[in-house]
DNA sequence: CATGAATGAGCCTTCATTCAT
DNA sequence: TATGAATGAAGGCTCATTCAT
């Protein structure tokens, strides 16, 4: 029984810790998305409902917290986009699904991650380069497949994929969604219509 | 004679002042473009070759310096784009010219200004909203004209204009140019091809 | 049986507690000696193999832990030196024994305590002043005895004792031992020779 | 005249800056001596009568301020001791002069620098190692000279010099001076008497 | 009683802004 | 008027201490 009690205690503690870290990541994600990387650590702590020390226990610096947030969001994004691509068979349909996935995430308040290469290239950002490469490759393959089967007009698939990526950047998603009265599906439809018109052969 | 000397001094001073301000704006524009709005005022001063005090004499705060840089660049951009629109008669040609103008500016090392609305809306940015509105209106009118004459496919002209604007953002311009081996004309051609395909009816 | 069990448990617990405290004192002593008073409580806890909470249960503050370490080491040092003084009859021999005792402690990795008065006087250090006074008195008496019997040259016994103490400070012991290739007996011999030459009448 | 005025202005400014830095070094020296390296930068600034920013303008970190203080004091100390050694011809007299110099500095409130090797060896301390080596060499030579001419007893000159250095450490100087009712000359005399008795052949 | 996660005051450092020269 | 030294508020981070488990 003593053993059981101890185990339960240990398990409970660990669950709390786990939940605190999730709260921190969530708060950081929201604030970074809302106000950029210049948010104060204290603000992150406040929104997470913890003390600053708690953040620093797991993330030794602001930079690393930012990187962690980025990594988490990246994995999520990659997963969503790959999933969307898998769920459709026609290349144009795949593209449409990918775009809708990204636009709908903003409606779900899920953090959007910037999928574009960073021209300044300053922060290594852990997984970001890998993410960019994999997403870019994913899109380029889908487009190339469409070109081979004739449903997408010819042209540099790399460049066309890059253009798609630009139209999936967080700010673009937000701007276009806002212009469509926050009806992300409408915004996505416009973009999809535009893209497919622009890509179709 | 005393008067003459003073006059000469005053005139020279005025010319120096003028030149100093131009240097400051130039330096600020470059640094803001290179490293974002977090550059230090001292760095701006150093690159401009003046003391910090000199900057503060004309621009009472960093925010206002930033706004001034923005305003200058905006005016330039608006001028270029309006010019490009005037020089062509067919709506699609106008669009093509506008896009080329923006892409070529980055090749000329001229600072690109972000023409998109800022979703965070944080900085008042003096002239920016006006610029955005006028550019957006310009594009929407060109597109609407194309729709009326049948050369551009139907759809929400506001939204289509917004999509165009997203593809003219500094980072997009840089990313796509880089992907085309810094051949901005090639990048612009791809985008133009894409846009016209996407817009054409 | 319940009683027996509880008793056994209590006894075992008490033994554990005892051992934990010894470990904590040992770890603190080592770390204070190695890295000065700026060691982190967490490092002490880690080396002791306990949680920080365990330290705070017995020592309500870092200062008190430091004082406790000091007190323990002091008692040990005082014991060693008094012992050394008792084991010899000739005053000069007593001194020699005292010095050797202090130098050999450093070779045994035993923590050396600073026997000198602290000019800044900052930390109350519980027992330290008492220790200093008693050691100083001990040395002064040994020297005065030597002076009375003529084996030590005349002079202010207080001051001569103070000089001896300076040559017994931890850092001096370490520096001189190191210079003698870590041969503490050789270092002690040099100091003893020096001291006895300087003290002898 | 304009030129003159400007020059005067420039010179005056530079003099102020110079004086500020001297104040900072002075304040830092005093506080480091009084309370060790854990003083707050703000306290240094307050005692120097400047803002913290002013300190950071010249000394990019606390560590570097500390190093600068150390370096200044070192040069002064080395100068004093070398001077003292030059002013006497008999080796024993040289030693006496060196010791008096160090003891009298503490009376003059001049910062004493620790001339001994640091067993922990942690801080690089800019010039300190060089200082230690040069002082140690100086003392060893003086002692060796005394040994050659017979006025100092034989023994390891390196070790004897090290013992002298220990008796010249700031804390020793302060402790012994205090014990002699702050009569540093008396304290120095005792140490000199002790040393020469211990060194004389 | 032991644990170690959480806390937050406090320190070092930066940088926008002011002001004496 | 131009200069750049001085200022000090603010933010990142540490670590002694507390407390829920």
C80 in the same domain as C19? no
pLDDT, residue B122, reads: 47
Q: Which of D11, D39, D60 is the last residue of a domain?
A: D60
Any chains having at least 3 CB pairs less than 8 A from chain A are B
pLDDT range class, residue B44, cuts 50, 70, 90: very high
C116: closest chain D residue by CA: D175
B122: closest chain A residue by CA: A35
pLDDT, residue D8, reads: 45
**Interface test mutation site (partner A, options B139, B166, B184, B196, max chain A beta carbons within 10 A):** B166
A96 in the same domain as A48? no
> For strand F, which nucleotides have at least one atom less than 7 Å from a protein CB?
1-21
pLDDT range class, residue D4, cuts 50, 70, 90: very low
C167 in the same domain as C74? yes
A74 in the same domain as A51? no
What share of chain D in percent tops pLDDT 90? 19
Span CA (D29) to C1' (F2), Å: 36
pLDDT range class, residue A124, cuts 50, 70, 90: very low
Among A160, A178, A198, beta carbon nearest to B119: A178
Q: Which of A9, A29, A60 is the last residue of a domain?
A: A60
A3 is in which domain, residue-wise? Answer: 1-60
pLDDT, residue B56, reads: 95
A128 in the same domain as A195? yes
Span CA (A152) to C1' (E2), Å: 67
pLDDT at residue A7 is higher than 70: no
Span CA (A35) to C1' (E8), Å: 25
pLDDT digits (tens, 9 = 90+) for D19-56: 999 999 999 988 987 787 899 999 999 999 999 999 99
Contact B197 A193 (CB under 8 A): no
Number of domains composing chain C: 2
pLDDT digits (tens, 9 = 90+) for C32-52: 877 878 899 999 999 999 999
Residue where the block lists tokens 């930390």: C123
Contact B119 A160 (CB under 8 A): no
Average pLDDT over residues B17-28: 90
B78 in the same domain as B137? yes
CA-to-CA distance for A60 and A72, rounded, in angstroms? 17
> What CATH number should be reported for the domain holding residue D112?
1.10.357.10
pLDDT at residue C132 is higher than 90: no
pLDDT, residue D76, reads: 82
Which of residues 17-76 of C have CB within 7 Å of strand F? 38, 40-42, 52-53, 56, 60-63
Cα→Cα distances C148→B86, C21, C86, D198, Å:
115, 46, 18, 20
pLDDT digits (tens, 9 = 90+) for B80-120: 778 878 877 888 888 888 888 888 877 666 666 777 777 66
Q: At what angle do helices B184-199 and B170-179 cross, to 10 degrees?
A: 110
pLDDT range class, residue C195, cuts 50, 70, 90: confident
pLDDT digits (tens, 9 = 90+) for D180-200: 888 888 888 888 888 877 756
Residues of A in contact with B198 (CB under 8 A): 194-195, 197-199
pLDDT at residue C124 is higher than 60: no
CA-to-CA distance for B96 and B104, rounded, in angstroms? 12
Span CA (C190) to C1' (E5), Å: 53
C91 in the same domain as C41? no
A64-68, C12-16, D179-183: which has the minimum mean pLDDT? C12-16
B41 CB contact with strand E at below 7 Å: yes
Among C38, C117, C176, beta carbon nearest to D163: C176
pLDDT range class, residue D126, cuts 50, 70, 90: low
Q: Structure pTM? A: 0.77
Q: Which of A60, A84, A111 is the last residue of a domain?
A: A60
C40 in the same domain as C113? no
Higher pLDDT: A10 or A32? It is A32
pLDDT, residue A128, reads: 64
B105 in the same domain as B168? yes
pLDDT range class, residue C121, cuts 50, 70, 90: low
CA distance C138 to chain D (A): 17
pLDDT digits (tens, 9 = 90+) for C58-99: 999 999 998 888 888 878 878 887 887 887 788 888 888 888
pLDDT at residue A123 is higher than 60: no
pLDDT, residue A27, reads: 94
B97 in the same domain as B27? no
> Which nucleotide is closest, CA of B55 to its C1'?
F2
pLDDT, residue C78, reads: 81
Contact B175 A166 (CB under 8 A): yes
Residue ranges of A 34-93 with Cβ closer than 8 A to chain B: 34-36, 38
A80 in the same domain as A8? no
Higher pLDDT: D23 or D85? It is D23
D180 in the same domain as D90? yes
């Amino acid at each position: 029984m003593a053993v059981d009690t101890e185990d339960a205690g240990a398990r409970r503690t660990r669950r709390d810790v786990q939940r605190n870290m999730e709260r921190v990541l969530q708060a950081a994600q929201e604030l970074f998305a809302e106000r950029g990387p210049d948010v104060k650590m204290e603000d992150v702590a406040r929104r997470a409902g913890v003390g600053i020390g708690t953040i620093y226990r797991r993330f030794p610096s602001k930079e690393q917290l930012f990187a962690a947030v980025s990594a988490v969001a990246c994995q999520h994004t990659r997963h969503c986009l790959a999933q969307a691509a898998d769920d459709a068979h026609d290349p144009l349909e795949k593209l449409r699904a990918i775009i809708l996935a990204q636009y709908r995430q903003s409606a779900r308040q899920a953090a959007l991650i910037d999928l574009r290469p960073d021209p300044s290239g300053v922060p290594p950002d852990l997984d970001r380069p890998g993410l960019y490469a994999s997403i870019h490759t994913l899109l380029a393959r889908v487009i190339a497949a469409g070109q081979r089967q004739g449903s997408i007009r010819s042209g540099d698939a790399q460049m066309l994929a890059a253009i798609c990526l630009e139209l999936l950047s967080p700010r673009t998603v937000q701007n276009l969604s806002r212009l469509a009265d926050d009806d992300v599906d409408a915004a996505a439809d416009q973009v999809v219509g535009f893209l497919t018109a622009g890509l179709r052969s």
